[in-house]
Each structure stands twice: as structure tokens, then as C-alpha cells.
Amino acid sequence: MLQRLQKIMASAGIASRRKCEEIIAAGRVTVNGSVARIGQSADPDKDHVKVDGKLIGSEMKVYIALYKPKGYVTTSADKFAKRIVTDLVHIKQRVYPVGRLDADAEGLLLMTNDGDFANRVMHPSYNVDKVYVIRLERVLSRSCLKQLESGVVIDGIKTWPAKARYLSPDMRLVEITIHEGRHKIVKRMFREVGNYVVSLVRVRIGNVSLGSLKPGSFRHLTEREVNGLRAE
């Protein structure tokens, strides 16, 4: 069946559809040996679609929940990284992280080869909750907590309203729920209210929780979890 190239690429886990269009425009995609053009369609089961010379095509979609340990990076673009999260998931299909989690952070990381699914989970307009448990350097006052809930300005852009609550009497252990995924956004939000993150664990994304996973272990999402994230 004919499909737009950007859809084929996104489904193969190359990138979001918008980014795939940029890759096509850059001349990095070929169909049966000819350089592809924007708006072109192909049959992933019959045509040879290549990105940067590597053949892609239709494959079984895979959805993984990984407990990312500290010290692992979520991008293969870091040439100096010795430990990458993809090294922890030993399955036949090649999967990619859905969003980021800093090297010194730990917790739930979704991985997939479904670009459309990844974009839906990451984009703030879909309101998929990302829940973190944060240990802070000092007491977080109630006024600062309210600031986080109202939104703080970072790089000239106000963050989306968060949900926050104390998890300990000393007011240094906090749970925060956000929707967006800007670079180091959680740490920068707390820094904006005059505090510093000592440790960060992501415990939930949408309807998927860390549960009983141990650092470095993973599991496949259930059909119900995948459908729930699609419906967020």
C-alpha cells in the first residue's frame, strides 16, 4: 500500500513526520535508487526506501518501558558516551528513546520504533503527564511550590502549569507533574525558584508507571498501555 515517505520513515522510528520532511528535503532519502522529493509516496513492502544509504521498511511496532539507570545517555549523538540506553534493550527490533532523561537522572523511559507514537507522547499539546520525584538541596517553600504550579519563565517562554506536592515533612522531597519536555526543563524550573535538584526519578508517563522495574531492566508495554497513551 502506498504511503507518504514521511509516514514510512516515522513508522520506522527515524524521527517525527516534520523532521522526516526535513530529511527528505535535504536529499538524504532515496526510493529505488532515486533521490526522493517532498510529497512522494512509496510502498514500504515493495519499494527500497533508504535514509543515508540504510534500508528501512515496515516492521512490527515495539513499545518498551525501561528503567534508565544513572550514567546512561538517551542519545547516540554523544560521541563520547560510553553507556547508551539502547545498549540495555536486547530485542530484534531497533528502538529509540521517546524524549530525554539526563545522564544523572533515572527512572522511566519509553522506547519504540513507532515515530507517530513517540511524537504523540512527547508533544505538550497532547497533555501526556510526566511525573517526577525530586530530592532538593534545600526546603521548597509553599510560595515557590505555587510558582511552579502557575508556571515560570524559562528562555522567555512560560512553562505550562505543573502539579506539585510534598512527599516528606522536611519539604525537600517533591513530586511534580508536567507535560512539556524542553531540555533539562525540570531542573531549570526548580533553579528558577532558587532551588537545586539533588536527585531526579521519573516514575510515570501517562498511564505507564515504573512499577517493579529495577535499574537497567525493561518490559514490553501492554496493549492497554499503548492504547491509553494514544488516547491521551
Amino acid at 27: G
102 catalytic per annotation: yes
Give the chain's count of helices (H) and strands (E).
Answer: 6, 17
Q: Give a three-class secondary structure readout of 70-123.
A: CCCECCCCCCCCCCEHHHHCCCCCCCEECCCCCCCCEEEEEEECCHHHHHHHHC
Q: Which of 52, 78, 87, 102 is catalytic?
A: 102
Hey, what's the cell of 55?
A: 534500508
DSSP H or E segment with residue 200: strand 197-205
Q: Identify the CA nearest to 228 among candidates 126, 131, 160.
A: 126
Kindly report the CA angle at 209 between 204 and 214, in degrees rounded to 5?
105
Burial of residue 224, with CB atoms counted within 10 A of its CB: 0-12 exposed, 13-18 middle, 19 or more buried: exposed
Catalytic positions are 102
